[in-house]
A and B are shown apart, each in its own frame.
Chain A
Amino acid sequence: MTPQDFKSDQPVRWCAGCGDHAVLNSLHKAMATLGVAPEMTAVISGIGCSSRLPYYMNTFGFHTIHGRAAAVATGFKVANPAMTVWQISGDGDGLAIGGNHFIHAVRRNVDINMLLLNNKIYGLTKGQYSPTSDRGFVSKSSPYGTTEDPFIPAELVFGARGNFFARTIDVDLATSQEVMVAAARHKGASVVEILQNCMIFNNGIHNRITDREVRADRTIHLRHGEKMLFGKNNEKGLVRDGFLVKAVTVGEDGWTIDDVLVHDAHAQSNFLHQQLAMMDGEELPLAVGVIRDVEAPSYDEEVCRQTDEVRARKGFTALRDMILAGDTWTVS
């Protein structure tokens, strides 16, 4: 299969330069890599710029209502577990109006791949602050700056006991494909946060981290089983500092490569995963790649298993059998 197999005939209508174009591209490629046929794939979204994405896929697609994509996707997956299900939401759709469905889909561990496009702004309604906008952020609905703290998506995922969390940057196509493929292969709810740029209403919001000049020093690409190294020449690493981690330069202050932590995405305990996910690109580099990937029973699979088990035990073939097995009397 090729990326072309997953493209629909509809013209893509996002603004020129919008990060969504890159995400769409990455998704087409990731799907081709996965090799699940378009007719066995469903893409379900809510409302917002990024939620237009299903129209650009040659798969089953459903552009639903604001905030409810996770709930629709849950019903879809439970009803038809053979399908591979993707959910597309923005930060407003997924974490404000749809926050409840988001945390419960993660908690239930429904086998859906949730792409969270985080541009820290409401784009479709033309520029209001979102639940991921930083405190003090000035927007049309916060002309004097916001007076509230944002959600950090990873923190919500861990709070909801998530088993898969990855992060990528819209323009980093290679990492995006890598984490999308990993998300799809993970059984259970997989959340991928994509730092995405809105050219029109919040241009450059992630530049502090994503600019080419600083990206090597301000981000770290985590890969399971590999040393946590970053910097232009991988000269820096993350080491234990009591209960926390800290960044050091290998070879300085007595730190050696042996001190540098090895990433274990499959560790049951999420203690270290949380610390890694919460690094914000200031003192510690922002983590991209798969941060947590732990196997756990998925909701849809458990529903089917239980249904099969109970069916086999009771042995009813139809409604009437079940009723006749209960309390009845005969009138002749």
Chain B
Amino acid sequence: MNSMETSAPARVRSLEKVVVRFSGDSGDGMQLAGNIFTNVSAALGNSVSTFPDYPAEIRAPQGSLGGVSGFQVSVGCNVHTPGDQCDVLVAMNPAALKQGYKFLKPGGVIIIDTDSFKEDGLRKAKFETDNAIAELGITAQVVEVPVTSQTKAALEDSGMDNKAMMKCRNIFVLGLLCWLFDRPEEGARKMLREKFAKKPAVFEANSKVLRAGYDYGHNIHATVSTFRIDTDEIVPGVYTDIKGNEATAWGLIMASEKSGRPLFLGSYPITPATDILHELAKRKDLGVKACQMEDEIAGVCSAIGASFAGSLGVTSTSGPGLALKGEAIGLAVMAELPLVVIDVQRGGPSTGLPTKTEQTDLNQALYGRNGESPLVVVAPTSPKNCFDMAFEASRIAIEHMTPVILLSDAFIGNGSSAWRVPEASDYPEIKVPYVPEELREGWRAYMRRDDTLARYWAIPGRDALPHRLGGLEKDVKTGAISTDPANHARMVEIRREKIERVAADIPLQKVLCDSPEAETLLVGWGGTFGHLYTAAEELNRQGIAVALAQFRYISPLPANTGEILSRYKRVIVAELNTGQFADYLQARFPHVEICRINKTEGQPFLVSEIVEGVKSHL
């Protein structure tokens, strides 16, 4: 049934990777069309990277500039970022064109729905003439497709009302793109069938429209190039498409399986972290207890209560929520209980830019509590790395009896990548510091392991070792309340050293793109990895030898950090804030001269910005 097999496209361009940006009203289903396109591509063996760019308002006025929702995806081989600019822009209306055309590469193609470029739409998007293309000075190839009328024509006999038919426009575009990029229409149909499993009529309609879009592409192929996209050579195995927030949730579950401690999530909805709560709420089927609490504070406090009761206690939030949780995290520092706090960072301060990405919570994670309150901070580098780092955060929390903050961000939390489903044996057992048999007699709550300084974890119901914990300072030996000055100093020191010793239990920092000629070290942390790596490769291609160190372990730093930083003539820290990690490194390694590349626009870096930024420091 696949017409692709019988039609040879007129012109075929072979590309290593291609970037498509779907742009439309926030109600136009751009995220859905983009997601299906991504998944179909991933199933073909492409690596993929996505970037949903959506407005904070759920439904801003229809057709307005503020209501434009974007979804950018890069597919192909060696893909590490969703791309600075797109090869193809889909603009569902004039506002989407106005907001989206600036992302188009020179030589790119724009697909517009001509039916929506009428007086009303142009006025809402604040165009002054009736020729939007000319008014914006666009010289790129524009493919004019009557998406709305073609969609309606395909659904003529369906008996659907106008509103319901309009909702299928995104799928017409999806069909067209499947033809254009040689994606199997059946793959997209299968995903629609799953999406609308409970609404067969909606599926039927979308299936028809998908076909109509695909066939339309076939019929106009004389005027547009089609693309063959190269695929990566990838490790054999079972793959799935995974979003960062989903990966975070699954990494926690893996840690629960590997430690034998049940997983408890206490959370409160907050953009852009809520998908973690959604996913773990579904995972009751794996025994996860996910509780939506009455506020952020109750979220973290219930997780601490669950940890005291013997679970892996986790809370998920974003910046404003982390601020609210600060006091309770201090309690977990003091009580020395395992706790994982996930902060999917967004633009701040205050409510800031709830749907946009930033790395501005680093200082808050490191220092945002009263008293000397050290803890572990880690940061995943990509959507799929969220799985590994959520596992690591849990492992460290349990083995070292400490709160761990995982600093994800909106970019990788909402972004997706193709991911090889791991075997359980790919991950190490997590060794729970249960009270050893020989210490049970005369055991006290603040007795510690010699190596890690971790307190032992006596679990109610498992260990008949009743004991009292609390936020008041405790005697180093007996665990009873103590206000003794020397004892407090001792405990402050122990809590500090306990975190320092985690450094012995994490991998050494790796340096990528390194060469004997490299005099410059580009440094990043967390979710900017894809952009920094692509930039480093680009610079090396241009003959500028640059090495890259992307940090995942922030507190404590890997043991070889000082050695690495000292090895290069120039260290440039690039981050999406005004220099928080650079300051942190500078304070620890004062002899290293640290240059900075910073951005605070609520948007990820562009590769070109980093390339130019590095050059400006040479």
Contact = CB atoms under 8 A, between A and B. Distances in A.
A165 to B, nearest CB: 20
Given A65-B328, A74-B302, A332 B257 contact: no
Interface string A64-94: 1100100111111111101100000000000
Contacts of B283: 322
A39 B460 contact: yes
Interface of B: 39, 42-43, 45, 191, 194, 234-241, 250, 253-254, 257, 262, 264, 266, 283-289, 291, 293-295, 297-298, 301-311, 313, 327-328, 330-331, 335, 421-424, 460-461, 463-472, 480-481
Given A10-B480, A320-B421, A65 B257 contact: no
B304 to A, nearest CB: 6
Contact of A104 (B42, B257, B298): B298
B579 to A, nearest CB: 33
B235 A62 contact: no
15 contacts: A39-B466, A60-B466, A60-B467, A61-B468, A64-B331, A64-B470, A65-B301, A68-B301, A73-B305, A79-B264, A83-B309, A83-B460, A83-B461, A307-B287, A320-B422
A332 B236 contact: yes
Given A39-B460, A64-B470, A74 B293 contact: yes
A62 to B, nearest CB: 5
A60 B460 contact: yes
B294 A104 contact: yes
Interface in A314-329: 314, 316, 318-320, 322-324, 326-329
A320 B304 CA distance: 28
A55 B470 contact: yes
Q: Select the residue from B43, B309, B469 with max chain A CB neighbours within 10 A.
A: B309
A74 B305 contact: yes
Contacts of B42: 329
A311 B421 CA distance: 21
Given A82-B461, A322-B286, A65 B331 contact: yes
Nearest to B231: A331
B298 A62 contact: no
A63 B404 CA distance: 21
Given A307-B287, A326-B240, A78 B302 contact: yes
A104 B253 CA distance: 28
B311 A71 contact: no
A56 B330 CA distance: 23
Contacts of B254: 319
A72 B466 contact: no
B341 to A, nearest CB: 14
Contacts of A68: 297-298, 301, 328
A79 B466 contact: no
A318 B464 CA distance: 29
Nearest to A328: B240
A303 B289 contact: yes
A161 B517 CA distance: 72
Contacts of A39: 460, 463-466
A306 B266 CA distance: 17
Nearest to A10: B480
Given A71-B302, A75-B291, A331-B45, A310 B309 contact: no
Given A39-B463, A78-B302, A320-B422, 8 more contacts: A41-B466, A71-B298, A76-B309, A79-B289, A80-B460, A324-B421, A331-B236, A332-B236
B298 A80 contact: no
A296 interface: no
B406 to A, nearest CB: 18
Contacts of B286: 311, 316, 318-319, 322
A42 interface: yes
User: B287, B293, B308 — which one has the most chain A CB atoms within 10 A of its CB?
Assistant: B308
A200 interface: no
Given A39-B465, A71-B305, A75-B264, A318 B285 contact: no
Contacts of B308: 42, 60, 62, 72, 76
B305 A72 contact: yes
A72 B301 contact: yes
A77 B424 CA distance: 30
Nearest to B253: A319
Nearest to B463: A39
Nearest to B422: A320
The listed residue with most A CB atoms (<10 A of its CB), out of B234, B331, B468, is: B468
A147 interface: no
Contacts of B301: 64-65, 68, 71-72, 75, 101
Contacts of B253: 319
Nearest to A303: B289
A303 B291 contact: yes
B584 to A, nearest CB: 28
B148 to A, nearest CB: 30
Contacts of B241: 327
A100 B289 contact: no
Nearest to A314: B285
Contacts of A316: 285-286
A68 B335 CA distance: 15
A40 interface: yes
B239 A331 contact: yes
Interface in A278-332: 303, 306-307, 310-311, 313-314, 316, 318-320, 322-324, 326-332
Contacts of B194: 327
B561 to A, nearest CB: 33
A72 B284 contact: no
Given A74-B293, A329-B239, A332-B236, A79 B298 contact: no
Contacts of A8: 468
A61 B481 contact: no
A71 B311 CA distance: 15
Contact of A311 (B257, B262, B285, B468): B285
A146 interface: no
A80 B461 contact: yes
Contact of A58 (B289, B302, B466): B466
A81 to B, nearest CB: 9
B421 A55 contact: no
Nearest to B420: A331
Nearest to A55: B468
Contacts of A58: 466
A44 interface: yes
Nearest to B481: A55
A44 B309 CA distance: 11
Contacts of A323: 240, 250, 421
Contacts of A73: 305
A82 B421 CA distance: 35
A42 B240 CA distance: 43
A330 B305 CA distance: 42
A311 B306 CA distance: 21
Interface string A30-68: 000000011111101001000000110111111111001
Nearest to A58: B466
A307 B285 CA distance: 6
A218 B129 CA distance: 83
A79 B237 contact: no
Contacts of B289: 78-79, 303, 307
A205 B471 CA distance: 30
B85 to A, nearest CB: 29
A41 to B, nearest CB: 8
* The 4 residue pairs across chains A and B that have the minimum distance between CB atoms: A63-B470, A75-B302, A75-B305, A71-B301
A71 B289 CA distance: 15
A63 B335 CA distance: 10
B287 A311 contact: yes
A327 B39 contact: yes
Contacts of A327: 39, 191, 194, 240-241
